[in-house]
Amino acid sequence: MRYVKGHGTGNDFVILPDADGDLELPAALVRALCHRGTGIGADGVLRVVLSAAEPAAEQFRGEARWFMDYRNADGSVAEMCGNGIRVFARYLVDAGYEAAGTLLIATRAGLRTVEVPPAGDVSVDMGPPEFAPGPVPVTVVGREFAAVPVSMGNPHAVCFADDLGPAQLAGLDLRAPVYPAEIFADGVNVEVVVPTPGGVAMRVFERGVGETASCGTGACAVAVAWAAREGGGPPAEVQVDLPGGRLTVGWDERTVVLRGPAVLVSDGVLRPEWLRLVAGPPGADAAATDPAGTDAAGREAAGTEAAPSAAGRAAAGV
């Protein structure tokens, strides 16, 4: 099985080319791929599949040739990934599947238009934000924030820490944010934000992953929540600084546009013996053989998880 490794401002992905939709991708295999000690290491997996070959993309088949099947590192499915879709589009162009220019890509959150120049930054029209009723109490490192709930296709809780500067932001322990489960029933991505001279700086605890170096949908949620709070109408562009680099977010009332680097790092081949190890012996419980040793936190998307050991063996061709 071939893969490509890529990242957008340090938010990294294993890209699995699967044009014809032949690949089974159980959560245990995703966790194993994303494990930084025993796998390739990544925040998520991007399966590249033709809409025509993917049941989840049925409604988009006339409009978008490709579907982004995004999985978090814990094996759970997410609706949208702002860095992921930019890396996905860069892959389509660099691999020769599509010409540089404007691409329409199907995702679980709907269709997204991506601008891919022959080289350099990739931008994506993320659609309009949805502000949910708030604020919502979210606790980070023992401090309660009045978080702004924003959906960018996936859920975000934006926490402003106006009394902190970028250096104090860097020192926060972001490991275990607490949020009301009755409001964020499917979990939530939590951002902590401080003002900077050019815009904002943020860190993010991603649902299904943990802290990551960057989050594209998170940067959009932060930029629109910040602009809405500042008043005076949406600014043309907001610079969002993250541990992994800088993203630029434009917002013109109608839609949000995210721009930043999208980099392909390496090409590789998964060894059949590693895939066999991930799958475990016939009849084995994948939980006992999962080399990632991670917990999908009970967020396995219903209907997407095949019996792990059997599916893993199918992926391994064994």
Ligand X SMILES: N[C@@H](CCC[C@H](N)C(=O)O)C(=O)O
CA 107 to CA 225: how far, in whole Å? 23
208 binds ligand X (CB under 6 A): yes
Q: Which is nearer to ligand X, 81 or 148 (CB)?
A: 81
Tell how strand 237-242 and strand 2-8 pair up.
unpaired
154 labelled binding-site residue: yes
Helix, strand, or coil (residue 290)? coil
Question: Count residues contacting ligand X (CB under 6 A)?
Answer: 19
Minimum Å distance from CB 299 to ligand X? Answer: 8
Query: Which of 151, 217, 294, 309: binder of ligand X (CB under 6 A)?
Result: 217
Least CB distance from residue 72 to ligand X, whole Å? 5
**Would you count residue 151 as binding ligand X (CB under 6 A)?**
no
Which position among 34, 159, 215, 220 bears the catalytic label?
A: 215
**Taking CB under 6 A as the rule, does residue 9 contact ligand X?**
no
Binding residue (CB under 6 A) for ligand X from 18, 98, 125, 206: 206
Backbone dihedral angles phi then psi of residue 293, each to the nearest 5 degrees: 60, 25
Residue 87, φ and ψ in degrees, nearest 5: -70, -40
Asked whether residue 207 is marked as a ligand-binding residue, the answer is yes
Q: Is 84 in the site for ligand X (CB under 6 A)?
A: yes
DSSP class of residue 232? S
Residue 215 among the catalytic residues: yes
Quickly count helices (H) and strands (E) in the chain.
Answer: 7, 18
What is the C-alpha to C-alpha distance for residues 82 and 21, in angstroms, rounded to an integer? 23
Taking the alpha carbons of 161, 163, 164, 166 in that order, is the dihedral positive or negative? positive
Stretch that binds ligand X, among 78-86, 165-173, 195-203, 304-312 (CB under 6 A): 78-86
Exactly one of 21, 149, 199, 216 binds ligand X (CB under 6 A); that residue is: 216
List the beta bridge partners of residue 201.
194, 241
**217 is annotated as contributing to ligand binding:** yes
Judged by CB, which is closer to ligand X: 51, or 212?
A: 212
Q: Looking at beta carbons only, is 84 or 280 nearer to ligand X? A: 84
Neighbouring-strand partners of residue 312: none
Q: Which two tokens stand for residue 280?
A: 């475990």
Residue whose C-alpha is closest to residue 214's, from 248, 244, 176, 246: 244
Residues making contact with ligand X (CB under 6 A): 11, 44, 72, 78, 81-84, 154, 189, 206-209, 212, 215-218
Which residues are tagged catalytic?
Answer: 81, 215
